Amino acid sequence: MTLPAEAAYVVVGGGTAGNVVAARLAEAGHEVLLLEAGPDFGPEGSPAWPADLVDATRLGRSHDWGYDSGDTYPWTVGFERARAIGGSSDMNGCTQTWGHRRDYDAWAEAGLAGWAADDLLPLFEEGTRRMRVRRYLAAELTPWQHAWYDAAPAVGMPRIPTLNDLDENAGFAPEDVNIQDGVRVNTAFAYLDPARTLPNLTIIGEALVDRVLVERGRATGVVTVHRGETRTVRAGTVVLAGGAYNSPTVLLRSGIGPAAQLAPLGIPIVRHLPGVGENLHDQPFLLMNWEGSERMATQMDAARAAGWAPDEQAMGKAASSLETEAFDLHFLPYSPTHRGERTRWSIGTSALQPRSRGHVRITSTDPEAKPVIDHRFLTDPEGADVRMLVDGVEILRELAATPALAPLVGRELHPGPDTFTRDALVAHLYANPDNYWHPVGTCRMGLADDPLAVVDARGRVHGVEGLRVADCAIMPRVPRATTAMPAVVVGENIARMLIEDAA
């Protein structure tokens, strides 16, 4: 398809939120150009779609950006993001959670109008419908999932019908998932496909946006590399939707960000915004493993032989000793996986409200150069993030020791008996940080007098007309959720605001 020279709206990034924005604008009658750095494989069912991106039984990796922790840790931690139409909705585990009312009400209480839970609830419901989300029945859970679900009340987590009651706290429930007939329903299928035939929507793959053009304080277009050729596309409004890693890097290459970082790279300062690339955070995670049992192995083999037996089906939520208003822990059972000759039986815990903050920075003006991504996991001075994880581990150990679970899970392998004292567990966590794949915050919303705010409550970049951000980068603080559906809701809400502002 030919790259247009101009469009009323240029949406940068055909990922989880960008597809929502592009489709909603086009459905409202606006001229939209969607630029995706990776390939556009076409509509659902096209043979061009890689099998790993549509198969909901596995995590796709065929079109990864290749981002990782670099030399910020003694080893490399991968930060997988999909470089393809659909973005990270192509690669995720399909778990759809919403968080808690306090997550969004806190944004509104900070002055961000339109982001309270009651404002967003209809968008969560619509996103759930569009993404074809269904809820597993308890009877559908595999034996490994059912074992944790059945035992959860023993440690104060009642069995509940859904994880997505914004007013509910602790509990264990079957998951809501965007899976239909074994296919991972990404936002390209859910949002773009119904709009693909509209004459006012153009989708261009293999178009990496280098930077936004700004003239006299207003965004006027983008510079993109399309199939090896550098081109300029004029725009009435530019909407960045590259995610928590890519949206800030586009801003930085455009001269929008901390002047002290841009000047050494020879990037002319368009707007000094110190918060661009800062406030990066993700929910720290620990995967625990047990040796399992012959009884569980036999039951799981029978479940797989009978048909659908995915790795993720149920989830628990609970409060650590630090939490006072809702919950701040997730528990995520994994069915056994095989690594080498050892069968792994796993459940993960994540601290959902981290205090630690990191950053995304560029070291080159080359749009293909990897940014420096440093989450600074577990670095908060009070040690709250580690304390949350320690509490999560202790709850899971208590649960694994119950009469119902102990014969099924067997001996703990990781982090293992050497970490059974609290001090040893703390030391292990500090030495082995890991992520839950939910980065947010690098272009965070805030009021105009907030020196570290990048956008306002309508996604408008402070001090630059005609430029918005519409993805998880604008979240001031990560919600108590897996962020796939919250990302859809961000796209829905910014699209709604764009349509209102154009009226």
Catalytically annotated residues: 438
Long-range contacts of 305-308 (CB under 8 A, 24+ apart): 308/140, 308/182
Long-range contacts of 454-459 (CB under 8 A, 24+ apart): 454/248, 454/251, 454/273, 454/275, 454/276, 457/111, 457/112, 457/113, 457/114, 457/115, 458/114, 458/494, 458/497, 458/501, 459/239, 459/494, 459/497
Comparing C-alpha atoms, which of 418, 398, 417 is closest to residue 406? 398
The conformation of residue 486, written as its DSSP 8-state character, comes to H
Angle at 331 between CA 342 and CA 144, to 5 degrees: 45
Query: What pairing do the DSSP bridges indicate for beta strands 342-351 and 329-339?
Result: antiparallel
- The H-assigned helical ranges of 152-292 are 187, 243-253, 259-262
In this structure, how many other beta carbons lie within 10 angstroms of the beta carbon of residue 404?
12
The conformation of residue 247, written as its DSSP 8-state character, comes to H
Encode 1-26: b = buried (16+ Cβ within 10 Å), e = exposed.
eebeeebebbbbbbbbbbbbbbbbbb
Instruction: Name the 3-class secondary structure at 186.
Output: coil
CA separation for the pair 443, 248 (Å, rounded): 6
CA separation for the pair 359, 444 (Å, rounded): 12
Place of tokens 């950053």: 359
Instruction: Name the 3-class secondary structure at 451.
Output: coil
CB 15 within 8 A of CB 187: yes
Run of H or E including 471: none
Judge residue 135's burial from the number of C-beta atoms within 10 Å of its C-beta, 0-12 exposed, 13-18 middle, 19 or more buried: middle
